[in-house]
């Protein structure tokens, strides 16, 4: 007798028997911190979970800047999403890009490379598609100033940085050499600060003595921000300490300066041109287009406004979690950080598991802030947790310990530890490759 398999991704055709009792289906879009946390929370639930991502790997984004500055390799901070299928018997992983959502028919449209699109029905939909770089309406800047969001971005940046030193050592033109040896970073949030400090260490230590014709330590790093201070989400006292630290490392911090143009020659900021062959963008983020497709209100950055249970109003069974959601708590927005994404994903997974058992969840989502950290080069990090503000070497050790533990799998933890120890004691960086496929200059 013909029967319909449980994990088939299309609805059972009329007249065809199910092979067994049909279970409800939760579709999770995005296997970042939030999506994976939701899938984990549903691991023992009596439901089929379909986890869809356009990439086959989960990225530990907090260490992307270390791939961009050649400390780590892409595989050190990424893990195949498919591995979750081994541990979760109710989970199927699908490599596809979600291109549409139809709330009325409770379906999504997903396209896999080379296979075209398909319609996938859901009973519950969890949207956790994160954010992407935003150029504040100037998408033309993207060509000259890559953002840092994916492994590919990190490799592009690494190739640009290493390529600039190579070209500086090759050219006979003094102005061009100066342009190649000037690095401009737009955006002084945690990513910009971490990237600038790591780049400074690379110039002063790793590349020292590597070039006969140039002195890498003489390269200039300019960190620009339109806001009043670096790390605007941290306390002012920490911002001041970080600015001092960056200055000591040789980074020129320019705050209150708006970038007007980014082109092949460099940037124009605050009315002056800064010639630079390497402009990097860590200034802004906007949500992926999926939240807008849910027909709900979104904030200025395109994040979906959700109710206290992270549900989308007027869209039954639909939740938005992680960076893609705009969640308010005590009249303040919940920050777009990994720990918030994990807590939201876990909460929604548990909520769905309870609803499936016929129980109603009465307690709304509450974010528990474990503290925020940013690292500023070797031996120095800052931490803010409630009233507690610390900085220095011990904070840096805590930062290193927390990040090792948070990496997705044991293999990543071992690899990153090994690379960090090597870098710490030798000053060297093991991932200084410019792939032939990357354009430099």
Ligand X SMILES: Cc1cc2nc3c(=O)[nH]c(=O)nc-3n(C[C@H](O)[C@H](O)[C@H](O)COP(=O)(O)OP(=O)(O)OC[C@H]3O[C@@H](n4cnc5c(N)ncnc54)[C@H](O)[C@@H]3O)c2cc1C
Contact residues: ligand X, CB under 6 A: 29-35, 52-55, 61-62, 64-65, 97-98, 128-130, 148-149, 190-191, 288, 290, 322-324, 336-339, 341
Contact 158, 68 (CB under 8 A): yes
Query: 81: phi > 0 → left, psi -120 to 50 → alpha, else beta; which?
Result: alpha
Minimum CB–partner distance for residue 59 and ligand X (Å): 7
Q: In Å, what is the CA distance from 245 to each residue of 405, 408, 420?
A: 26, 31, 21
Pick 275 or 392: Cβ nearer ligand X: 392
Cβ of residue 31: shortest distance to ligand X, in angstroms?
A: 5
For the chain, the 3-state helix, strand and coil shares in percent, each to the nearest 5, are 35, 25, 40
Residue 194 is a catalytic residue: yes
- Token readout for 39 is 């899938």
Distances in Å between the alpha carbon of 191 and those of 272, 336, 374?
24, 13, 8
CB nearer to ligand X: pick between 33 and 122: 33
- Provide, rounded to whole angstroms, the least separation between the CB of residue 149 and ligand X: 5
Q: Phi, psi at residue 349, to the nearest 5°? A: -60, -45
Find the helix packing angle between 33-41 and 338-356, rounded to 10°: 30
Which CB, 368 or 425, lies closer to ligand X? Answer: 368
Q: How far is the CB of 311 from ligand X (least distance, A)?
A: 17
* Least spacing, CB of residue 182 vs ligand X, in Å: 22
Q: How many CA atoms lie within 13 Å of 225's alpha carbon, on the beta-carbon side? A: 23
Closest CA to 304 of 316, 289, 283: 289
Determine the 3-state secondary structure of 283 from DSSP.
Answer: coil
Residue number with the smallest Cβ distance to ligand X: 32
Strand-pairing partners, residue 381, are 375, 392
- Strand-pair category, 48-53 with 57-59: unpaired
Q: How far is the CB of 7 from ligand X (least distance, A)?
A: 19
68 vs 39, 45, 249, 396, CA distance in Å? 29, 39, 18, 20
CB 126 within 8 A of CB 77: no
- 184 with 267: CB under 8 angstroms? yes
Taking the least distance from each CB to ligand X, the nearer of 153 and 180 is: 153
At its nearest, how many Å lie between ligand X and the CB of residue 137? 20
The residue among 165 and 399 lying less far from ligand X, judged by its C-beta, is: 399
C-beta closer to ligand X: residue 214 or 318:
318
CA pair distance 146, 65, nearest whole angstrom = 13
Catalytic member of 194, 236, 260, 344:
194
Nearer to ligand X, 129 or 198 (CB): 129
Question: How far apart, in whole angstroms, are the C-alpha atoms of residue 398 and residue 74?
Answer: 23
Give the residue numbers marked as catalytic. Answer: 194
């Amino acid at each position: 007798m013909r029967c319909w398999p449980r994990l088939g991704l299309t609805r059972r055709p009329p007249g065809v028997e199910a092979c067994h009792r049909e279970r409800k289906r939760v579709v999770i879009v995005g296997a970042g911190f939030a999506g994976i946390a939701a899938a984990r929370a549903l691991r023992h639930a009596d439901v089929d979970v379909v986890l869809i991502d356009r990439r086959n790997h989960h990225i530990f984004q907090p260490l992307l800047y270390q791939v961009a500055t050649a400390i780590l390799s892409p595989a050190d901070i990424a893990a195949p999403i498919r591995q979750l299928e081994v541990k979760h018997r109710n989970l199927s992983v699908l490599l596809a890009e979600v291109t549409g959502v139809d709330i009325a028919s409770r379906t999504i449209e997903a396209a896999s490379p080379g296979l075209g699109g398909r319609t996938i029905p859901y009973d519950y939909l969890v949207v956790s598609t994160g954010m992407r770089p935003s150029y504040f309406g100037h998408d033309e800047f993207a060509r000259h100033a890559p953002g840092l969001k994916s492994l590919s971005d990190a490799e592009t940046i690494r190739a640009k940085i290493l390529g600039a030193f190579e070209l500086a050592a090759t050219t006979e033109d003094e102005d061009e050499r100066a342009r190649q040896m000037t690095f401009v970073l737009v955006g002084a949030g945690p990513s910009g600060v971490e990237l600038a400090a790591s780049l400074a260490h690379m110039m002063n230590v790793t590349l020292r003595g590597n070039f006969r014709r140039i002195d890498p330590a003489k390269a200039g790093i300019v960190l620009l921000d339109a806001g009043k201070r670096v790390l605007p989400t941290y306390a002012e006292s920490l911002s001041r300490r970080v600015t001092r630290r960056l200055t000591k490392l040789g980074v020129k911090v320019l705050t209150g300066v708006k970038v007007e143009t980014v082109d092949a020659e460099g940037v124009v900021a605050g009315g002056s041109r800064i010639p630079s062959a390497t402009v990097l963008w860590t200034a802004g983020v906007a949500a992926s287009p999926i939240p807008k497709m849910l027909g709900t209100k979104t904030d200025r950055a395109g994040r979906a406004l959700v109710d206290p249970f992270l549900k989308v109003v007027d869209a039954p069974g639909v939740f938005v979690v992680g960076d893609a959601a705009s969640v308010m708590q005590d009249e303040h927005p919940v920050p777009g950080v990994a720990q918030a994404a994990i807590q939201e994903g876990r909460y929604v997974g548990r909520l769905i598991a309870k609803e499936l058992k016929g129980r109603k969840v009465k307690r709304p989502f509450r974010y528990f802030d474990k503290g925020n950290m940013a690292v500023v080069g070797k031996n120095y990090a800052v931490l803010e947790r409630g009233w507690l503000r610390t900085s220095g070497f011990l904070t840096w050790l805590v930062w290193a310990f927390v990040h090792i533990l948070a990496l997705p799998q044991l293999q990543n933890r071992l690899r990153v530890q090994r690379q960090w120890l090597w870098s710490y004691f030798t000053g060297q960086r093991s991932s200084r490759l410019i792939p032939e496929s990357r354009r430099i200059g």
